[in-house]
Structure 1
Amino acid sequence: MIVGIGTDILQIPRLVASYQRTQGRLAERILGPEELSVFHERMARNESRGMAYFATRFAAKEAFSKAIGLGMRMPMSWRYMQTLNDASGKPVAHYRDRLQTFMEERHYHAQVSISDEKDMAIAFVVVSYGTPIVSGVTRPEDMLG
């Protein structure tokens, strides 16, 4: 059963400007630990792809917060929800701390879709109740960047 649907779209240059204005602290405030690690790796290889990664994760968090109906208030927190990729590249939502408890107590599961194109990033999230569809990977440390 679908509990909620959320979507978010953003202009990547606006996020880049905020990132530069905060001298990179914005990424540390928004991204969870595993996301931040992937972000740094991607930035080292290609700055524009690194920022696109950051933008899609930012959009996924916004879409997720809308889908669960909380916005950005506890137990939802920027760093408590992470979007990581499984071995096939599929984006998968992972939760930490109070958000993980919130999701488990309600038997909620999220499906995430993200995309970017030049100056735009978008995310779409569907939160459902019941048994999740498992992609075979459940731990953040098993995810690829």
Structure 2
Amino acid sequence: MIVGLGSDLCNIERIQASLERFGDRFEQRVFTETERKKAARRPFTKAGTLAKRFAAKEAFSKAVGTGFKAGVFMKDIGVVNAPSGAPTLALAGGAKARLDAMTPAGHAMRVHLTLTDDHPWAQAFVILEAIPLEEPRI
């Protein structure tokens, strides 16, 4: 069952302006080490790479219904790739705690994430799906 849905649209030029104005301080405050390393490998599209991840963080905060309060911080939400290559989220701290609190008893939570960009826009959608755990067989 779907228990959360969030979306966000981020202006890539706004992220570029933040990179130019605040540099490493902005990156360190908002993005995980994995996200920063991925963006560093893409010097010509760094702002777009980070803008998609910024949008994913915003979309997740909407899906859990808190925004960036109640212990949910941007740096606790990281975009990673599943073994299939599909993007997903790695959660820590308050973001993980909020997701755990939303998970119904007898269920596991699955996070679905999609990212796209078309300059000057980056977009992300997050769907939180509760999957029933199987009954143990005797």
How many residues align structurally? Answer: 128
1:137 paired residue number: none
Secondary structure of the structure 2 residue equivalent to 1:48: coil
Work out whether 1:116 is the aligned partner of 2:112. no
Over the aligned positions, Cα root-mean-square deviation in angstroms equals 1.8
Which of 68, 76, 100 in structure 1 is aligned with 2:96?
100
TM-score by length of 2: 0.82
Contact 1:106–1:129 (CA<8 Å) still a contact in 2?
no
Report % sequence identity.
Answer: 30
Counterpart check, 1:10 vs 2:10: yes
Q: What are the equivalent positions in structure 2 for 1:54-133 lying under 5 Å apart? A: 54-107=50-103, 108-131=109-132
Structure 1 residue 131 displacement after superposition: 4.6
Runs of 4+ off more than 6 Å: none
Which has the larger share of strand? Answer: 2
Q: Tell me how far 1:104 sits from its aligned partner.
A: 2.7
What does 1:19-30 correspond to in 2, within 5 Å?
19-30=19-30
What per-residue deviation string (whole Å, max 9, x for no partner) do you get for residues 70-95 of structure 1?
00113311010111112332101110
From the two aligned structures, give the one with the greater helix fraction: 1
Supply the AA of the counterpart residue of 2:15.
Answer: L
**Paired letter, 1:101:** A
